[in-house]
């Protein structure tokens, strides 16, 4: 399968883990981490010994990710809102789902790329990992609106899918809703995008030019790394509006979880995932940087400083795994029909 091969190839060549660079040391001390260059080390971070990643599961998960039949209408797939050709997002302020319904809380679709590194899933952090997260949008009325029984019926009515599950998990596998969504999550775990920023942290001093290094230094000095940290440069729950009110806070009714915490979005591939913030109200990355300075840090970030930070953020655009659009197994006369109500 080309996907698995490409996934492995794109992780190579980042150099050693050691660097004497003072800026690298400063970045690491600030909590920034590189995607490991070594595939074995990466697998330690993304794999689950209780449900190990295999090429068969990844290939099956890829098909299910692109299959709109797991939605009630038969029109919406995971890729609809998390488009792998659009940075893993959909490029619109609020997600559109079943019946052309906009997200009732006016929530923006976060990228699926590198989501395996997130400590929490969804803007309110209600899911701890991808396998749990994958169950939510499929069932949600404003999204895919498909009850688990409907998803199970459709997949089990297609002999080719049943056979692929047996190949991936064994002859006695029960193809239920949890297994279907967990298989999608297994595919999503492979959507890791190493960038030249990782090359730099992994020891290649020449991976970033002077302007990009200056931007990284500004990013750290201004305090951006206090929330955008770790491998994902985000993905953890943080208090929002620490210093000031978000100027578009009235768009939608989202206020975070019960403690007012909001999942910090990843900065990886950030140039590809506008519009920004939980309600998708800011389209300019420079403006988003300045707004975060005000809202979270209580500081004014100048135009020059914002431009410098954006220069660094561009280094986070990573190499995407090669994904071929799959030929999906055909439905049968027993496959339940699409429903639009």
Q: What does the pLDDT look like over 214-255, one tens digit per residue?
A: 999 999 999 999 999 999 999 999 999 999 999 999 999 999
117-129 pLDDT, tens digit per residue, is: 999 999 999 999 9
Instruction: Look at residue 47 in the predicted model and tell me its pLDDT.
Output: 97
* Residue 81, marked binder: yes
Phi, psi of 29, rounded to the nearest 5 degrees: -65, -25
* Residue 144, marked binder: no
* Residue 224, marked binder: yes
Q: Is the pLDDT of residue 167 over 90?
A: yes
Mean pLDDT of the chain: 94
Residue 143: name the closest of 87, 85, 90 by CA. Answer: 90
Mean pLDDT of 262-275: 98
What residues have CB less than 8 Å from 151, skipping those under 6 apart? 70, 138, 177, 180
List the catalytic residue out of 56, 143, 188, 305.
Answer: 143
Q: Is 177 left (phi over 0), alpha (psi -120 to 50) or beta?
A: alpha
* Residue 98, marked binder: yes
* Residue 10, marked binder: no
291 included as an active-site residue: no
* Residue 82, marked binder: yes
Structure token pair of residue 2: 């080309």
Domains of the chain with bracketed CATH: 2-37+194-316 (1.10.760.10), 45-189 (1.10.760.10)
Q: How far apart are CA 136 and CA 178, in angstroms?
A: 11
Residue 6: name the closest of 185, 134, 193, 167 by CA. Answer: 193
| Contact by Cβ (8 Å): 267, 32 | no
Integer-rounded Cα Rg, in Å, for the chain is 21
What residues have CB less than 8 Å from 130, skipping those under 6 apart? 115, 116, 121, 185, 188, 189
Instruction: Look at residue 172 in the predicted model and tell me its pLDDT.
Output: 97
């Amino acid at each position: 399968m080309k996907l698995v091969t490409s996934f492995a190839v794109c992780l190579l060549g980042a150099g050693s883990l050691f660097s004497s660079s003072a800026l690298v040391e400063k970045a690491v001390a600030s909590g920034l981490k590189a995607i490991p260059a070594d595939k074995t080390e990466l697998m330690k971070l993304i794999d689950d010994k209780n449900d190990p990643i295999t090429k068969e599961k990844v290939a099956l998960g890829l098909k299910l990710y692109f299959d709109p039949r797991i939605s009630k209408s038969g029109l919406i797939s995971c890729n609809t809102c998390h488009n792998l050709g659009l940075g893993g997002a959909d490029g619109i302020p609020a997600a559109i789902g079943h019946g052309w319904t906009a997200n009732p809380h006016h929530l923006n679709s976060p990228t699926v790329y590198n989501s395996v590194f997130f400590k929490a899933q969804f803007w309110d952090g209600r899911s701890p990992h991808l396998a749990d997260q994958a169950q939510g949008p499929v069932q949600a009325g404003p999204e895919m609106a498909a009850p688990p029984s409907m998803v199970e019926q459709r997949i089990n009515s297609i002999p080719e899918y049943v056979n692929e599950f047996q190949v991936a998990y064994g002859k006695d596998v029960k193809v239920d809703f949890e297994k279907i969504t967990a298989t999608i999550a297994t595919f999503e775990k492979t959507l890791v995008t190493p960038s030249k920023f990782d090359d730099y942290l992994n020891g290649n001093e020449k991976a970033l030019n002077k302007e990009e290094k200056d931007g990284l230094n500004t990013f750290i000095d201004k305090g951006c790394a206090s929330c955008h940290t770790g491998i994902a440069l985000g993905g953890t729950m943080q208090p929002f509006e620490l210093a000031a009110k978000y100027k578009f806070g009235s768009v939608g009714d989202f206020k975070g979880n019960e403690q007012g915490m909001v999942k910090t979005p990843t900065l990886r591939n950030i140039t590809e995932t506008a519009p920004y913030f939980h309600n998708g109200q800011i389209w300019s990355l420079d403006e988003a940087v300045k707004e975060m300075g005000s809202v979270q840090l209580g500081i004014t970030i100048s135009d020059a400083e914002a431009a410098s930070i954006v220069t660094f953020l561009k280094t986070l655009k990573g190499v995407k795994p090669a994904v071929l659009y799959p030929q999906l197994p055909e439905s049968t006369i027993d496959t339940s029909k699409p429903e639009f109500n």
